[in-house]
Structure 1
């Protein structure tokens, strides 16, 4: 019996060491994810400026009881300007904000695509306006 108890007691500390090591690996991975998510969302925020809303983070509880950021999003306002030229500028800024992170997500790419469509429509509108109201060019300068 004593031999059995000694074997069991010796087994648990080794198992605890493995568990501690595994916990540390999980914590390290969560820290890396948190850094990447923060950088990703900050890139959107910086590039988008006034077109962006507040950052919303998703959290996961680590084995140490701490909450780690594991996801996030920054809303980007897709809006039309007062003129086609203004809309083109807004669309370009939206696209820059959406593609600002070094690793844009599928959602980021979808927002950039919507911005490209917005820009294209504004260019079409601008072209229509210019063809309807051609500027008079004087050859007598």
Structure 2
């Protein structure tokens, strides 16, 4: 009698069915084809990816120099193994310009424009726009304060005198 250490077992019905199913799913390139539901999910993820990237690009374009770096994305892995952007953000400088209400007003207008730039602003986008509007209102109130108006006149007068003296010094001839 000859014995062997190798156990040969018959594949079960489930194993046969599974291997047959896997072969059916393979396409001509050797990659597995996606089920109908998986293909729908991939198409949905592609659409979301395009929308997210377009949304964040709108923020970047409107933010100009206030953007702090590029857009960052959160990703979801699809049934096809690829990563799709499903969320994103753009960091924008939203602090008021200390001691310069006019510049603060300009900055807050640009922040609001950047926040509302996408076709469908998110609730976070609307919140940032509202915050920018509040900061702009504070800057306008500061600017309308009589003391600040006087300070602005003084600054403007000093700048005018400086510019006049500078221009004169450019054209004066010394003997």
Coarse TM-score class (shorter-chain normalised):
0.7 to 0.9
> Which of residues 60, 78, 91 in structure 2 aligns to 1:45?
60
Q: For the structure 1 residues 45 and 132, does the alpha-carbon distance in structure 2 shift closer, same or farther, using more than 3 Å as the test?
A: closer
In 1, the alpha carbon distance for the partners of 2:84 and 2:55 equals 15
Q: When the two structures are superposed, what TM-score results if normalisation uses the length of structure 1?
A: 0.79
The structure, 1 or 2, with the larger RCO (C-alpha pairs under 8 Å, 6+ apart) is: 1
Q: Say how many residue pairs are matched.
A: 127
Point out the structure with max Rg over C-alpha.
Answer: 2
In 1, the alpha carbon distance for the partners of 2:80 and 2:133 equals 44
Question: Structure 2 unaligned runs (5+)?
Answer: 1-12, 26-33, 154-175
Q: Comparing both structures, which one devotes a greater share of its residues to helix?
A: 1
What's the CA shift string for 1:7-39, capped at 9, x where partnerless?
A: x96x959x96xx611111110000000000000
RMSD (Å), alpha carbons: 2.7
In 2, the alpha carbon distance for the partners of 1:98 and 1:128 equals 29
Aligned-pair distance for 1:130? 6.3
> Which of residues 82, 91, 98 in structure 2 aligns to 1:75?
91
Question: Structure 1 unaligned runs (5+)?
Answer: 136-141
- What is aligned with 1:27? 42
1:56 aligns with 2:72: yes
